[in-house]
Amino acid sequence: MMEPLTDPFGRIHDYIRISVTDRCNLRCIYCMPAEGMQFQPQDEIMSFEEIAAVVGALAPAGLRKVRLTGGEPLVRKDLEKLVAMLAEIPGIEDLSLTTNGLLLPGKAESLKRAGLSRVNISLDSLRQERFAQITRGGEVSKVLKGIEAAAAAGLAPIKLNVVLMKGINDDEIRDFIGLTLNQPLHVRFIEYMPIGSASDSWRQTYLPLETVVSACHEAGWTTEEAALTAGGGPSQNRRIVGAEGTFGLIHPVSEHFCDNCNRLRLTADGHIKACLYWQDEYDVRPLTGDPDAVRAMFRQALGNKPHNHEMALALEKKAQSHTPTARRMSQIGG
Protein backbone atom coordinates (compact mmCIF):
# COMPACT_ATOMS: atom_id res chain seq x y z
CA MET A 1 0.00 0.00 0.00
CA MET A 2 1.33 3.40 -0.99
CA GLU A 3 1.95 5.93 1.76
CA PRO A 4 -1.20 8.03 2.33
CA LEU A 5 -1.34 11.77 1.58
CA THR A 6 -0.38 13.18 4.97
CA ASP A 7 0.55 16.68 6.14
CA PRO A 8 3.06 17.62 8.90
CA PHE A 9 0.28 17.43 11.52
CA GLY A 10 -0.61 13.82 10.73
CA ARG A 11 -3.84 14.67 8.91
CA ILE A 12 -4.58 12.13 6.16
CA HIS A 13 -6.13 13.61 3.01
CA ASP A 14 -8.56 11.31 1.19
CA TYR A 15 -10.84 13.98 -0.33
CA ILE A 16 -10.35 16.42 -3.21
CA ARG A 17 -12.56 19.25 -4.39
CA ILE A 18 -12.03 19.97 -8.08
CA SER A 19 -13.18 23.17 -9.74
CA VAL A 20 -14.09 22.40 -13.35
CA THR A 21 -14.77 26.01 -14.35
CA ASP A 22 -14.54 29.52 -12.91
CA ARG A 23 -17.66 30.57 -14.82
CA CYS A 24 -21.16 30.71 -13.38
CA ASN A 25 -24.71 31.51 -14.49
CA LEU A 26 -25.27 33.54 -11.30
CA ARG A 27 -23.28 36.31 -9.59
CA CYS A 28 -23.80 35.71 -5.86
CA ILE A 29 -22.78 38.67 -3.72
CA TYR A 30 -20.32 36.71 -1.55
CA CYS A 31 -18.75 34.84 -4.45
CA MET A 32 -18.20 37.27 -7.34
CA PRO A 33 -18.14 41.01 -7.89
CA ALA A 34 -21.08 42.46 -9.85
CA GLU A 35 -18.84 43.22 -12.80
CA GLY A 36 -15.21 43.26 -13.88
CA MET A 37 -14.71 39.54 -13.15
CA GLN A 38 -11.84 38.26 -15.29
CA PHE A 39 -12.59 34.71 -16.43
CA GLN A 40 -9.80 32.40 -17.49
CA PRO A 41 -9.36 31.62 -21.19
CA GLN A 42 -10.61 28.15 -22.09
CA ASP A 43 -7.12 26.91 -22.92
CA GLU A 44 -6.06 27.56 -19.30
CA ILE A 45 -8.83 25.33 -17.92
CA MET A 46 -7.92 21.71 -17.25
CA SER A 47 -9.31 19.15 -19.68
CA PHE A 48 -11.36 16.19 -18.47
CA GLU A 49 -8.42 13.94 -19.33
CA GLU A 50 -6.05 16.02 -17.18
CA ILE A 51 -8.48 16.02 -14.24
CA ALA A 52 -8.95 12.25 -14.50
CA ALA A 53 -5.18 11.79 -14.66
CA VAL A 54 -4.74 13.69 -11.36
CA VAL A 55 -7.45 11.66 -9.63
CA GLY A 56 -6.01 8.45 -11.08
CA ALA A 57 -2.58 9.35 -9.70
CA LEU A 58 -3.93 10.09 -6.21
CA ALA A 59 -6.30 7.11 -5.81
CA PRO A 60 -3.45 4.62 -5.10
CA ALA A 61 -2.34 6.98 -2.29
CA GLY A 62 -5.74 6.72 -0.61
CA LEU A 63 -7.92 9.34 -2.36
CA ARG A 64 -11.50 8.13 -1.94
CA LYS A 65 -13.82 11.14 -2.32
CA VAL A 66 -14.13 13.61 -5.19
CA ARG A 67 -16.39 16.66 -5.28
CA LEU A 68 -16.82 18.65 -8.49
CA THR A 69 -17.32 22.38 -8.02
CA GLY A 70 -17.00 25.63 -9.96
CA GLY A 71 -17.98 28.40 -10.50
CA GLU A 72 -21.06 26.47 -11.52
CA PRO A 73 -19.87 23.03 -12.64
CA LEU A 74 -22.95 22.35 -14.78
CA VAL A 75 -22.06 25.19 -17.16
CA ARG A 76 -19.09 23.00 -18.18
CA LYS A 77 -20.20 21.19 -21.32
CA ASP A 78 -20.72 17.40 -21.08
CA LEU A 79 -19.82 17.22 -17.38
CA GLU A 80 -21.34 13.73 -17.20
CA LYS A 81 -18.42 12.52 -19.35
CA LEU A 82 -15.98 13.58 -16.62
CA VAL A 83 -18.19 11.96 -13.97
CA ALA A 84 -18.08 8.67 -15.92
CA MET A 85 -14.29 8.89 -16.26
CA LEU A 86 -13.84 9.46 -12.53
CA ALA A 87 -16.36 6.78 -11.56
CA GLU A 88 -14.22 4.18 -13.37
CA ILE A 89 -11.06 4.95 -11.35
CA PRO A 90 -10.40 2.13 -8.85
CA GLY A 91 -10.60 3.33 -5.24
CA ILE A 92 -12.94 6.29 -5.80
CA GLU A 93 -15.93 5.56 -3.58
CA ASP A 94 -17.85 8.83 -3.47
CA LEU A 95 -18.46 11.28 -6.33
CA SER A 96 -20.43 14.41 -5.50
CA LEU A 97 -21.25 17.80 -6.98
CA THR A 98 -21.84 21.29 -5.58
CA THR A 99 -24.23 23.23 -7.81
CA ASN A 100 -26.67 26.14 -7.74
CA GLY A 101 -29.26 23.70 -9.09
CA LEU A 102 -30.46 25.81 -12.03
CA LEU A 103 -29.40 23.26 -14.65
CA LEU A 104 -30.17 20.11 -12.64
CA PRO A 105 -33.62 19.45 -14.18
CA GLY A 106 -31.94 18.64 -17.51
CA LYS A 107 -28.85 16.97 -16.04
CA ALA A 108 -29.74 14.99 -12.90
CA GLU A 109 -30.64 11.72 -14.67
CA SER A 110 -27.55 11.63 -16.89
CA LEU A 111 -25.26 12.54 -13.99
CA LYS A 112 -26.69 9.73 -11.87
CA ARG A 113 -26.30 7.25 -14.74
CA ALA A 114 -22.68 8.37 -15.21
CA GLY A 115 -21.88 7.54 -11.57
CA LEU A 116 -22.58 10.69 -9.52
CA SER A 117 -23.52 9.80 -5.93
CA ARG A 118 -25.10 12.97 -4.56
CA VAL A 119 -25.41 16.75 -4.77
CA ASN A 120 -25.07 19.82 -2.57
CA ILE A 121 -27.29 22.64 -3.79
CA SER A 122 -26.57 26.27 -2.87
CA LEU A 123 -29.73 28.09 -1.79
CA ASP A 124 -29.48 31.28 0.26
CA SER A 125 -33.10 32.43 0.23
CA LEU A 126 -36.54 30.92 -0.38
CA ARG A 127 -38.01 34.32 -1.25
CA GLN A 128 -37.81 35.27 -4.92
CA GLU A 129 -37.10 38.97 -4.52
CA ARG A 130 -34.32 38.32 -2.00
CA PHE A 131 -32.93 35.36 -3.96
CA ALA A 132 -32.66 37.60 -7.03
CA GLN A 133 -30.87 40.21 -4.92
CA ILE A 134 -28.33 37.74 -3.46
CA THR A 135 -27.68 35.98 -6.78
CA ARG A 136 -28.04 39.14 -8.87
CA GLY A 137 -30.90 37.87 -11.00
CA GLY A 138 -31.58 34.18 -10.26
CA GLU A 139 -35.01 32.51 -10.03
CA VAL A 140 -35.55 30.49 -6.87
CA SER A 141 -38.31 28.39 -8.52
CA LYS A 142 -35.69 26.92 -10.88
CA VAL A 143 -33.54 25.84 -7.93
CA LEU A 144 -36.55 24.18 -6.28
CA LYS A 145 -37.18 22.29 -9.56
CA GLY A 146 -33.50 21.26 -9.48
CA ILE A 147 -33.96 19.83 -5.97
CA GLU A 148 -36.98 17.83 -7.20
CA ALA A 149 -35.02 16.55 -10.21
CA ALA A 150 -32.12 15.43 -8.01
CA ALA A 151 -34.51 13.56 -5.70
CA ALA A 152 -36.28 11.91 -8.65
CA ALA A 153 -32.93 10.78 -10.09
CA GLY A 154 -31.91 9.17 -6.79
CA LEU A 155 -29.05 11.54 -6.03
CA ALA A 156 -29.03 11.22 -2.26
CA PRO A 157 -28.61 12.57 0.30
CA ILE A 158 -29.47 16.05 -0.98
CA LYS A 159 -27.82 18.81 1.04
CA LEU A 160 -28.79 22.47 0.80
CA ASN A 161 -25.97 24.93 1.48
CA VAL A 162 -27.16 28.17 3.09
CA VAL A 163 -24.60 30.93 3.67
CA LEU A 164 -26.03 32.80 6.64
CA MET A 165 -25.68 36.60 6.40
CA LYS A 166 -26.74 39.07 9.07
CA GLY A 167 -29.49 41.40 7.93
CA ILE A 168 -29.83 39.57 4.60
CA ASN A 169 -31.29 36.09 5.18
CA ASP A 170 -31.08 35.42 8.92
CA ASP A 171 -34.86 35.85 9.24
CA GLU A 172 -35.35 32.72 7.07
CA ILE A 173 -33.63 30.24 9.40
CA ARG A 174 -36.96 28.79 10.51
CA ASP A 175 -38.21 28.49 6.91
CA PHE A 176 -35.11 26.54 5.90
CA ILE A 177 -35.32 24.17 8.86
CA GLY A 178 -39.01 23.73 8.03
CA LEU A 179 -37.97 22.12 4.72
CA THR A 180 -36.51 19.20 6.68
CA LEU A 181 -39.73 18.34 8.53
CA ASN A 182 -41.42 16.34 5.76
CA GLN A 183 -38.63 15.78 3.24
CA PRO A 184 -35.29 13.94 3.54
CA LEU A 185 -33.39 17.18 2.91
CA HIS A 186 -30.27 18.15 4.82
CA VAL A 187 -29.87 21.91 5.30
CA ARG A 188 -26.37 23.15 6.08
CA PHE A 189 -25.98 26.64 7.52
CA ILE A 190 -22.51 27.93 6.69
CA GLU A 191 -20.77 30.94 8.21
CA TYR A 192 -19.85 33.65 5.74
CA MET A 193 -16.13 33.31 4.98
CA PRO A 194 -13.75 36.13 4.03
CA ILE A 195 -12.42 34.51 0.85
CA GLY A 196 -10.83 36.94 -1.58
CA SER A 197 -12.53 39.93 0.07
CA ALA A 198 -11.83 40.29 3.79
CA SER A 199 -13.42 43.73 3.89
CA ASP A 200 -15.45 45.54 6.49
CA SER A 201 -18.62 44.65 4.58
CA TRP A 202 -17.85 40.99 5.35
CA ARG A 203 -17.43 41.76 9.07
CA GLN A 204 -20.77 43.56 9.14
CA THR A 205 -22.54 40.63 7.47
CA TYR A 206 -20.86 37.79 9.38
CA LEU A 207 -23.13 35.95 11.80
CA PRO A 208 -22.13 33.15 14.20
CA LEU A 209 -24.35 30.09 13.96
CA GLU A 210 -25.66 30.06 17.52
CA THR A 211 -28.46 32.08 15.90
CA VAL A 212 -29.76 28.85 14.33
CA VAL A 213 -30.13 27.14 17.69
CA SER A 214 -31.97 30.18 19.06
CA ALA A 215 -34.40 30.10 16.11
CA CYS A 216 -35.32 26.48 16.94
CA HIS A 217 -36.03 27.39 20.57
CA GLU A 218 -38.19 30.31 19.45
CA ALA A 219 -40.18 28.02 17.12
CA GLY A 220 -40.79 25.63 20.02
CA TRP A 221 -38.99 22.80 18.26
CA THR A 222 -37.22 20.10 20.22
CA THR A 223 -33.99 19.06 18.53
CA GLU A 224 -31.75 16.03 18.89
CA GLU A 225 -28.31 15.15 17.64
CA ALA A 226 -28.41 13.55 14.19
CA ALA A 227 -25.99 11.09 12.66
CA LEU A 228 -23.67 12.35 9.92
CA THR A 229 -25.04 11.92 6.41
CA ALA A 230 -22.84 10.60 3.60
CA GLY A 231 -19.85 12.89 3.20
CA GLY A 232 -20.90 14.64 6.40
CA GLY A 233 -17.62 16.47 6.79
CA PRO A 234 -17.35 19.22 9.39
CA SER A 235 -21.07 19.74 9.94
CA GLN A 236 -22.58 19.49 13.44
CA ASN A 237 -25.92 17.88 12.66
CA ARG A 238 -29.26 18.11 14.45
CA ARG A 239 -32.80 17.07 13.72
CA ILE A 240 -36.18 18.36 14.82
CA VAL A 241 -37.60 15.37 16.70
CA GLY A 242 -39.71 13.40 14.20
CA ALA A 243 -38.39 15.21 11.10
CA GLU A 244 -37.37 13.35 7.92
CA GLY A 245 -34.32 15.51 7.26
CA THR A 246 -31.63 17.23 9.31
CA PHE A 247 -29.96 20.60 9.65
CA GLY A 248 -26.31 21.21 10.32
CA LEU A 249 -23.98 23.96 11.42
CA ILE A 250 -20.68 24.56 9.64
CA HIS A 251 -18.64 27.26 11.36
CA PRO A 252 -15.27 27.68 9.64
CA VAL A 253 -14.70 31.04 11.32
CA SER A 254 -15.92 30.81 14.92
CA GLU A 255 -15.01 27.13 15.51
CA HIS A 256 -12.61 26.13 12.76
CA PHE A 257 -12.42 22.40 12.03
CA CYS A 258 -8.85 22.45 10.74
CA ASP A 259 -7.71 19.76 13.20
CA ASN A 260 -9.64 17.18 11.18
CA CYS A 261 -9.08 18.64 7.70
CA ASN A 262 -8.86 15.93 5.03
CA ARG A 263 -9.39 18.16 1.99
CA LEU A 264 -7.29 19.03 -1.00
CA ARG A 265 -8.38 21.46 -3.70
CA LEU A 266 -7.61 21.73 -7.39
CA THR A 267 -8.46 24.99 -9.14
CA ALA A 268 -9.93 25.05 -12.65
CA ASP A 269 -6.53 26.06 -14.06
CA GLY A 270 -4.74 23.18 -12.38
CA HIS A 271 -3.31 24.64 -9.16
CA ILE A 272 -3.23 22.61 -5.95
CA LYS A 273 -4.47 24.44 -2.87
CA ALA A 274 -3.84 22.48 0.32
CA CYS A 275 -5.85 25.14 2.24
CA LEU A 276 -8.82 27.12 0.93
CA TYR A 277 -7.80 30.31 2.69
CA TRP A 278 -4.09 30.84 2.06
CA GLN A 279 -2.53 31.93 -1.22
CA ASP A 280 -0.05 29.02 -1.49
CA GLU A 281 -0.55 27.18 -4.80
CA TYR A 282 1.25 24.54 -6.87
CA ASP A 283 0.76 24.20 -10.62
CA VAL A 284 0.25 20.48 -11.25
CA ARG A 285 -1.18 20.75 -14.77
CA PRO A 286 2.15 20.32 -16.63
CA LEU A 287 2.75 17.05 -14.73
CA THR A 288 -0.50 15.22 -15.49
CA GLY A 289 1.25 12.72 -17.77
CA ASP A 290 3.44 11.50 -14.90
CA PRO A 291 1.54 10.00 -11.91
CA ASP A 292 4.66 9.90 -9.71
CA ALA A 293 5.30 13.59 -10.35
CA VAL A 294 1.64 14.43 -9.61
CA ARG A 295 1.80 12.60 -6.28
CA ALA A 296 5.13 14.24 -5.44
CA MET A 297 3.70 17.72 -6.00
CA PHE A 298 0.63 17.00 -3.88
CA ARG A 299 2.93 15.76 -1.12
CA GLN A 300 4.98 18.95 -1.47
CA ALA A 301 1.81 21.07 -1.17
CA LEU A 302 0.73 19.11 1.91
CA GLY A 303 4.19 19.46 3.41
CA ASN A 304 3.63 23.22 3.52
CA LYS A 305 0.02 23.12 4.74
CA PRO A 306 -0.44 25.32 7.84
CA HIS A 307 -2.20 23.97 10.89
CA ASN A 308 -5.22 26.24 10.48
CA HIS A 309 -6.63 29.08 8.39
CA GLU A 310 -6.91 31.88 11.00
CA MET A 311 -10.17 33.34 9.60
CA ALA A 312 -11.12 34.27 13.15
CA LEU A 313 -8.10 36.58 13.24
CA ALA A 314 -9.38 38.24 10.05
CA LEU A 315 -12.71 38.84 11.80
CA GLU A 316 -10.87 40.58 14.65
CA LYS A 317 -8.52 42.44 12.27
CA LYS A 318 -5.50 40.75 13.85
CA ALA A 319 -2.22 39.84 12.14
CA GLN A 320 -2.07 36.48 10.36
CA SER A 321 0.86 34.12 9.87
CA HIS A 322 0.45 33.67 6.10
CA THR A 323 -0.97 35.64 3.18
CA PRO A 324 -4.67 35.04 2.45
CA THR A 325 -5.62 34.17 -1.12
CA ALA A 326 -6.69 36.88 -3.54
CA ARG A 327 -8.73 34.40 -5.55
CA ARG A 328 -12.50 34.67 -5.33
CA MET A 329 -14.54 31.74 -4.04
CA SER A 330 -15.75 31.15 -7.61
CA GLN A 331 -12.14 30.66 -8.72
CA ILE A 332 -11.25 28.16 -6.00
CA GLY A 333 -14.38 26.04 -5.88
CA GLY A 334 -15.32 26.35 -2.22
Compute the distance between CA of residue 236 and CA of residue 218 in angstroms, rounded to an integer: 20
Write the CATH number for 270: 3.20.20.70
Give a yes or no: residue 8 inside a domain: no
pLDDT score of 319: 54
Q: Kindly report, residue by residue over 218-243, the tens digit of the pLDDT.
A: 999 999 999 877 765 667 899 999 99
Q: Taking the model in full, what pTM does it have?
A: 0.89
Below-70 pLDDT ranges, the chain: 192-204, 206, 208-209, 231-234, 251-257, 276-278, 309-334
Q: Is residue 31 one of the residues assigned to a domain? A: yes
What's the confidence (pLDDT) of residue 313?
A: 46
Q: Is residue 2 part of a domain?
A: no
Residue 141 within a domain: yes
**Quick one: pLDDT at residue 291?**
98
pLDDT value of position 210: 77
In a domain, 183, yes or no: yes
Please name the residue ranges forming H helices in the chain. Answer: 48-58, 79-87, 104-114, 128-135, 140-153, 173-178, 200-205, 210-219, 291-303, 311-315, 329-332
> Could you list the residue range(s) of the whole structural domain that residue 78 is in?
15-332
Alpha carbon distance 1, 153 (integer Å): 36
Number of domains in the chain: 1
Average predicted confidence (pLDDT) for the chain: 87
Domain assignment present for 9: no
Q: Is 251 among the domain residues?
A: yes
Residues near 226 by Cβ (< 8 Å), separated by ≥ 6? Answer: 237, 238, 239, 246, 248
